[in-house]
Structure 1
Amino acid sequence: MSNSSPMPTPPSTWYYRLSWLHTAIFVVLSTIFYTNMVSCSKTDIPYNKHCALIVPESNPNAFPQFTTIPFAQNQDGYFLGGEEILNHPNSSGYNYPSSNRRVLFFLTHSVYSTGVDDIYKVEATLMLKTSDFEYYTDGGISGGGPLSFEIEGFWSISTGKLCMVGSGSTYSEDGKHHVLAALLKLDDVRNSSTISSLVRGALESLSTEGDSDYFKPISLLMFPQINYKYTKVEKALDHVCSGGIEVPKSLSLGLKLSSPICQAFYRWNEWFKLEYSSGCKSTNSRSPFSEGVGYLPQIMSLRPIQCSEDGRSLRFLIKFPNSSYDDYYHPFNPDTTLVAEGSWDVNKNRLCAVACRILNSTNSLNNSHIEDCSVRLSFRFPAVWSIRNTSDMVGNIWSNKPGNDSGYFNTIMFRSYENFLVGIPGLRYEYTVVDKARKSCLEKQPSKTKGRRYPDANSNDMRFDMAVKNSKGRRILGWGFSKPIFVGDQIARQSNYLISSSSRAGNSLVKRKTNHSTPLNISYQMSFQLNKSTDVQVFAEGIYDTETGKLCLVGCRYLDSNSQTPDNVSMDCKILITVQFPPVDSNDYIKGSIESTWEKDDHLYFEPLSFSAVSFYSRHSRESIRRMDLEIIMVLISNTLVCIFVVHQILHLKKHPDVFPFISLIMLFVLTLGHMIPLMLNFEAVFVPKESRTTVLRRSGGWLEANEVLVRVVTMVAFLLQFRLLQIVWSARLADWKQKAFLAAEKRTLYVSLPLYVCGGVIAVYVNWRNNKLDDGMQYTYQRSLWVDLTSYAGLVLDGFLLPQILLNIFHNSTEKTLSRFFYIGTTFVRLLPHAYDLYRANYYVEDFDGSYMYANPDADYYSTAWDVIIPLVGFLFAAIVYLQQGFGGRCFMPKRFKGPEGYEKVPVASNA
């Protein structure tokens, strides 16, 4: 598990989802709005007034050229400042602490040569971005997102200066449009670069201080990528790596020419855990930085900048944040960052790197410079993994200065958090504590049952997500995942540990049959978080018995301490883990326990933990596809029946035009909304890209995707027919001569039904609020959204669609055959059939991880054993009441004193003859 802090989730955006019609209107209006905004944001800014003394203006040639450019195509960098025009520090929306991560992008559009050989005209976009999330501010100009400046100016190759003017456009919180006129000044913009090259500068406002469009200067820093030369590792690599910890070549994996080093290193923000030696107590001699930093770094992140053309060298930044959370959200800090370049040493199977400090005398980035390249690093890929070492990349960092010099520090070991070996064959695992696991497993061996089949050891069924609870299993403490690393001597199939095709290590396990008579050796990685703050990472090994589904493991967890050492003291290896997998033909849960074998008075002892997981085996995956096939067919049949029933009711009304006044408009309105709302919420699914569909749709190979469109088409037809029925009845009611009398009865129906609906909605809101309250000791809980609960309540209202008709029949007290039996009994059957299916589904299918329900969606109605019984009983009761009302009067089931006389009688129509 990555030890980086969990990423905060931005607010849900379901309410921004639009139908295709709304989307088309939105795009048109946005285009018009954006065009006006851009035209308004362009200002005539005289270049010579602001830049003539920096780079003089020269007449550009007519056509752009591409042989000389100031920056690479994907040039990025960092900036400080800009609070007035970017995210305000006191945001009132989703405000995460210290969310000030600031990056910039310089996008060169065109470069023109001029009449002066040394000067070029440059047109570009400067984009400032603070974070990956949007914020709503209490003040300031912008509420979040990137801010772009369209700029142009001139660049002098000989002086390395670039001066540009332009403007950006944004809106304040109150909707006021602001045009930000700006001046960009950059230094050391060269057509070649080395490790010591930095592009520094500032973005300044051209408005007067005190104006609403004014902002304070923003300092900029970039690491140029044009024509980069590796100057620090061009010497013999043995000399570069001298002074570090020497490891025999056989203990490290090598790289083939077909597997460039960049493929293994070029991952955004690679994380490493630092392990300090325990001999020194002085922070100054332990950390790569001075005591002024204020903390002893525990983690190191590696962020690649550039890769060489031959794939054997690379350039990267090395950051030492106080936490992974700080590294992602805090501004770029040159005081705790090293810039490095490294090259692969084929003789020692390692990457040797030289790192330099970024010195900064002030808080402004435009005063930064690179000096002191005395830091050395060595990275390697261990060829042998064990329970104490399952990191795909390890190494050490040291100083080549004498021990008494300023800036010297002791050697620091580091290991990677993640394990994603790419293109590196030859990895093997060495089992060291499997005998302990075998002994513990024999003591609690479950009985073998004939005919029961358990997951294969080398299948994806051995991976699972888990809910970690206390020993009694009553309180959820956290969530995590488990996955096998090695099965026997082979890398686990479909794990994240990828090997090149030349190794074929995983294929040998596929070809041979698993030996079920002897428990298999297996190693695992388990990661989970407790109490929202404590990350626990356990590596374990043991045995798995495919005849009983029992997994017994002995685990080691890394200890978090400022005085960690790279020996046994940094790990707690007295952990016993047992897991019981259910048979593949059952829907039972995976259950397990994590126990400490230390004495209770030992400081490493912890209370036993239990965990459970849903056993979503590959068989269940195939069943999920078949289930969705069945559900799509049921949806198509149901909607087709609805169309038939509505058509039959329309024909019934044409044969009996005198019954129009006795049909409840509220009932028809409820039925129409019941078809319209899901159609509006889900119709854009027809047009969304394939990548955004659910996992089940991807597994289905497209069949479900095509039929989902068909389902929506049939739903559209049902809605149109239902709307047509409402329109016919509404028109007939308006034309009826007894309009006032019938309107009074309809109002009475509304006065009774509406409070019932409102009370039910209030109860649904209250239940949602009460269920989502956290217990005092509960750290995690599943919170059901209010929208989902209200949607489910709307489904309940739709199930009882006959209630308004029953009330209207009572107020009319007539015996008219208002509704066709085919219509109200058939529609009742269609509404209640999902509840019967839900009872079947709950007892036959395993819980669906994807939430991909095509029929009887739990978020669209109340589904449970109790509701699946109550709702059909009430539905059939309503249908029976309507049947009696249309045969014996609207008040036939009421006491005599409430029946009263017939409310309405037929009046013979006079003939014109």
Structure 2
Amino acid sequence: MAPARRCSRACRLSFLMQLVLVSAVVVFPAAASSTSRCSNPSPAPKEIPEGNDAAELLRSFQISTGYFSGGDRLFAPDDESSYIPRSFSLTPSKVARTTDSALLEVYATLTVYGASSSHGGGGSHRRRRRYTFSRAASFHLHGYYSSSSAELCMVGASGSYNGENGLVKHLRDVNLRLRVPNAPSLSDPFVTGLLDGADFETISLVAYVESDHYVFSEKKPSCPPPTPAGDARGALQALEANFSCPRLKELIVSSYKFEHADGDSSSPSSPTPTPLSLSTSRMHVNQMHCTANGSVRAYVVFSNDTDADSWRWQRMIHSRFFVKEEAVVANGYWDATASRLCLTACRVVHSSAATGPSSTDLKVDREQCGIGMSFWFPAVWTIRDRSVVAGLLWNASQERGNKHAAGDVISSAISASSIDLYRRGSNLSDVKYNYTMVDTAKKQYIQTGLSKSKKGRFPGNSSTYSYQDFKFHFDTGEATPVTIGSVIVAGDMMAAEYAFFEEVNMSRPAVATMDHTQLLNVSYDISYYITPGNWQPPKNSSRLYGVPSEPRQISAEGVYDPQTGILCMTGCQEINSSTDCQIMVTVHFASLDAKGKGHGRGRISSTRDKSDSLYFDVIDFALYGMYVEQIEESIWSTDLESIMAVTTATLWCVFAVMQIRHTKANPAAAPATSVSMLAVVALGHVAHLALNVDAMFVSRRRHYVQVSASGTLELNEVMLRLPTLVAFALQLCLLQLVLSNRRSAADNGRPAKAERWSLAERKSLWICLPLYLLGGLLAGTVHAINNGRAARDNPLIVRVAADPATLWDDLASYAGLILDGFLLPQVIFNAFSASRVRAVSPWFYVGGTVLRAAPHVYDVFRARSYVPSLRPSYVYADPRDDLFGVAWDVAVPLGAASLALLLFLQQRLGGAFFVKGRRLGEYEMVSTIGSRQEVEKAIDHGHQDATVD
């Protein structure tokens, strides 16, 4: 027993040691994880009924735009999907006070937006393509906010997102921890936190706080006056009120470029300094919030992007929260007396624990708060500066005698101007424009001999004109007037129309004079894209490839001659941090009387020597679009086409009714009517409805710019299609009447007569169907040849006209040709049946022929009378409904009229009157062993059938 007792003690000791180890393994991770995961307090505090601050509490936890990193299993890496912004939003649905004064109970929805990528199937892994699409994951959370720790801790049973196959996928065991400052301020303005779950990696979150509890700095910053003195506009015009927080935010949140003290925005030898380093050249006000009393706070980032990136920033500045760039946070106030915004800014840095520039752990460096910022609205514009908002940055720490290391703060004042390409409808009525390069443009206009160009009717010297006439587009860009005479028209349609009335109609003489006093001062913004000069398309590549492009922005001013329609301007553009003002822009507007497509032609050229680094090759371009007068004429013609389309469909209904009446009044007419002919007409109505179903309920005026307040007719597409639907129904009734009559003839003891009609019908089909199929193959071959020719075109050519016809469109047009010859089956049917029955009413075959020929007559009139739009909206004589062109417009009416004439003669002289010798089918085949009386009786019976009307 002794050995047994020793074993028992050893086992008990081993068991105790294993128990301790297991407890350590289980307990310690649980304890560690409990520090990072949320749990509701126990016992849970009870809610207190809502007070007057319920809405304010909701706003305290609202986050509209934040940034996140991580979550790699759920989202694609950020660097692979920069065009799909990573962001998140937190929307509280309920915030309630509890019996514990330090705790708030919060119900909220967290939505995380990003990109998700997947590999296409097929082939090896290397050959699989990666497809990137946007993804949104939503989490419904509940938890508590502790005012003592400033921490919001929330849990959710699950979250969800849409998977690649469209099915909703769930995420388990979700946990959110956010630090939300109790009293956010200049030194503590960020919401940061972590989101984790069982099905994805931890996601780091950061956002600029939106709470109304923000504590502004007690000391108001001082602002130096704008330069030059008195250059700021009043708030009444700029903000449309003494102070409007939404309007101020709309204007200030934008991108800015830095300027040198001498006003030159670029110089290759002297890079522009910025508040934070010598490398950045752009500033972007990314987030801004303000209060009703004029207190303002903002989040501002800096970048060294190229011109192309500037356009990208301009598009994204309102939708993203940027954390990877250098940034500052600022607060201050709106100075209503001086009409400017004054701010004090502090630099934002990544914490020492950050692992890289993508870290969301941001904090404010309180030692670098010596940056002063101000913004105002310039009252004077020039060719070099047309910014809606101007800014100034300076070293505010020097004012307090606070010295910092070089590079930490601004060493000298730097001016900035907004890069606002759209100006968002700003009220610029009090802005003055100073022309500085008009004399140069006028001199070039006279010296080049352009003033001697042919005169005509152009915008400005005609009775009809509009601001839209002077906006022009070309294949790679567009140009918009900024000023006309002394009036700013940028973003203000009313001011533009007023300027034309005052400057063009009232102030310009009617005839040209030798001293060119009729020239009108104008200025433009021209935006366009170019292909890099060193780019070459890939060789031996059968795949589609993208053509790279670089944006260019030209500020131009010069003169416009309303007598010749020529615009001659001198322009400036920024290229590679250099400003080039030796650019000439010439535009020849097309005459208002011109019937060709297009708006005119233009040229952008450099006046520098070819050896100069800023020299570029001449850019010739064609303007597209239509003048207002031509647009109104086109809209009028479209309304006329609507009336003609409804009239045509209604007449088809009338003619179908007349044919039904004729068939019922003449019993012999129904079996002598070709079923193939009726089927062709019915299918024609169906095709017309099917081809135009995409236009249902859609306004045709989407093809035009609203340029006139005059009332014009616009018929609803349903009204256009309803008569066609009725005509189709009547055609089916007529077809049913013919078929039932033939069936009754066979059932009533006249099988020989019914067989004769059926035999003629089959022979008609044997001829028509191969003919139709051969024509379809020919149409498909022509389409393939045209497509092959288009595929060999230069890939750099940008198509601005209507899209090329598809195979379906070409076959549909050919189907219209078949409908043009809808009488062909009846003519062949009559020839084989030798019928002299007047089966088809003159109303039907003459009226139908006229209706099919009328679109071709109108097409000739339209081509000679109207200016064609590049993207026309056809309602009548649509190329998808028939074949049009000079040859077809002659051949189709002649062919349709010939068939109608032939049918008229057949119904009076017999179906086979044009066949020499024995007439087809004149006699029925009889048995040779029949009696002579039977033969004579059969012959008499055949003559009686052929002469019955």
TM > 0.5 fold call:
yes
Q: Which moved more, 1:59-68 or 1:793-802?
A: 59-68
Distance 1:698 1:574 in 2: 35
- How many residue pairs get aligned? The number is 813
Question: Quick check: 2:106–2:144 contact (8 Å CA) kept in 1?
Answer: yes
Matches within 5 A, 1:488-567: 488-492=485-489, 495-497=490-492, 512-516=506-510, 518=517, 519-531=519-531, 533-556=549-572, 558-561=573-576, 564=577
Give the C-alpha shift of residue 550 in structure 1.
2.9
Question: Quick check: 2:429–2:495 contact (8 Å CA) kept in 1?
Answer: yes
Corresponding residue SS for 2:164: coil
Q: Aligned pair 1:659/2:672, yes or no?
A: yes
Question: Quick check: 1:434–1:521 contact (8 Å CA) kept in 2?
Answer: yes
Q: Aligned pair 1:266/2:227, yes or no?
A: no
Give the C-alpha shift of residue 780 in structure 1.
1.9
Q: Aligned pair 1:118/2:98, yes or no?
A: no
Q: Aligned pair 1:302/2:302, yes or no?
A: no
5+ residue gaps in structure 1?
A: 1-46, 91-95, 207-213, 468-477, 565-569
Match of 2:585 in 1: 577
Inter-CA distance 455–289: structure 2 relative to 1 (3 Å threshold): same
Match of 1:248 in 2: 228
Corresponding residue SS for 2:68: strand
Q: Which moved more, 1:594-603 or 1:252-261?
A: 252-261
Question: Quick check: 2:258–2:274 contact (8 Å CA) kept in 1?
Answer: no
- Which of the numbers 172, 179, 185 marks the counterpart of 1:194? 185
| Structure whose CA Rg is larger | 2
**Residue deviations 1:835-878 (CA, integer Å, cap 9, x gap):** 32233223222233674443334555544445444444444455
Corresponding residue SS for 1:659: coil
Inter-CA distance 166–428: structure 2 relative to 1 (3 Å threshold): farther
Inter-CA distance 342–619: structure 2 relative to 1 (3 Å threshold): farther
Question: Quick check: 1:377–1:396 contact (8 Å CA) kept in 2?
Answer: yes
Question: Quick check: 2:340–2:374 contact (8 Å CA) kept in 1?
Answer: yes
Matches within 5 A, 1:426-825: 426-443=430-447, 444-447=449-452, 452=457, 454-455=459-460, 459-467=466-474, 478-492=475-489, 495-497=490-492, 512-516=506-510, 518=517, 519-531=519-531, 533-556=549-572, 558-561=573-576, 564=577, 570-587=578-595, 589-614=599-624, 616-654=626-664, 655=666, 656-659=669-672, 662-664=675-677, 666-678=679-691, 680-685=693-698, 695=704, 699=708, 704-705=713-714, 707-726=716-735, 728=737, 737=746, 744-745=762-763, 748=766, 751-753=769-771, 755-756=773-774, 758-760=776-778, 762-763=780-781, 765-767=783-785, 769-770=787-788, 772-773=790-791, 775-776=793-794, 778-782=796-800, 785=803, 790-791=808-809, 793-801=811-819, 803=821, 806-807=824-825, 810=828, 813-814=832-833, 815=835, 817-825=838-846
Give the C-alpha shift of residue 677 in structure 1.
0.7
Matches within 5 A, 1:834-849: 834-848=855-869
Question: Quick check: 2:343–2:372 contact (8 Å CA) kept in 1?
Answer: yes
Match of 1:28 in 2: none
Matches within 5 A, 1:226-245: 226-229=211-214, 231-232=216-217, 235-238=219-222, 241=223
Give the C-alpha shift of residue 428 in structure 1.
1.0
Distance 2:854 2:55 in 1: 68
Give the C-alpha shift of residue 586 in structure 1.
4.0
Distance 2:268 2:601 in 1: 45
Distance 2:890 2:167 in 1: 57
**Residue deviations 1:385-424 (CA, integer Å, cap 9, x gap):** 2222222233344565767445456665533232627245
Amino acid at match of 1:718: A
Distance 2:245 2:529 in 1: 33
TM-score (norm 1): 0.76
Distance 2:332 2:907 in 1: 88
Distance 2:478 2:853 in 1: 39
Inter-CA distance 838–165: structure 2 relative to 1 (3 Å threshold): same
Matches within 5 A, 1:888-907: none
Inter-CA distance 160–632: structure 2 relative to 1 (3 Å threshold): same
Distance 1:699 1:454 in 2: 16
TM-score (norm 2): 0.73
Question: Quick check: 1:141–1:170 contact (8 Å CA) kept in 2?
Answer: no
Question: Quick check: 2:66–2:88 contact (8 Å CA) kept in 1?
Answer: yes
Match of 1:832 in 2: 853
Question: Quick check: 1:301–1:319 contact (8 Å CA) kept in 2?
Answer: yes
Distance 2:215 2:494 in 1: 29
Distance 2:888 2:505 in 1: 50
Corresponding residue SS for 2:558: strand
Match of 1:209 in 2: none
Percent identical pairs in the alignment equals 27
Distance 2:494 2:388 in 1: 12
**Residue deviations 1:761-801 (CA, integer Å, cap 9, x gap):** 53364256335426347342347556656335413412421
Q: Which moved more, 1:576-585 or 1:876-885?
A: 876-885
Inter-CA distance 405–89: structure 2 relative to 1 (3 Å threshold): closer
Question: Quick check: 2:207–2:321 contact (8 Å CA) kept in 1?
Answer: no
**Residue deviations 1:225-264 (CA, integer Å, cap 9, x gap):** 12153635x53432xx57xx96133223232353536525
Match of 1:217 in 2: 202
Amino acid at match of 2:770: V
5+ residue gaps in structure 2?
A: 1-33, 122-129, 398-402, 532-547, 747-753, 926-937
Q: Aligned pair 1:160/2:146, yes or no?
A: no
**Residue deviations 1:650-692 (CA, integer Å, cap 9, x gap):** 333434332356444641442232232145333343xx8x9x9
Q: Aligned pair 1:106/2:96, yes or no?
A: no
Q: Aligned pair 1:386/2:379, yes or no?
A: no
Give the C-alpha shift of residue 357 in structure 1.
4.0
Corresponding residue SS for 1:173: coil
Q: Which moved more, 1:341-350 or 1:387-396?
A: 341-350
Question: Quick check: 1:624–1:696 contact (8 Å CA) kept in 2?
Answer: no
Question: Quick check: 2:482–2:525 contact (8 Å CA) kept in 1?
Answer: yes
Give the C-alpha shift of residue 529 in structure 1.
1.6
Q: Aligned pair 1:368/2:372, yes or no?
A: no
Distance 1:887 1:340 in 2: 97
Match of 1:172 in 2: 163
Distance 2:148 2:910 in 1: 100
Inter-CA distance 181–579: structure 2 relative to 1 (3 Å threshold): same
Inter-CA distance 499–711: structure 2 relative to 1 (3 Å threshold): closer
Question: Quick check: 2:441–2:569 contact (8 Å CA) kept in 1?
Answer: yes
Q: Which has the higher contact order (CA 8 A, sep 6+)?
A: 1
- Which of the numbers 336, 351, 364 marks the counterpart of 2:341? 351
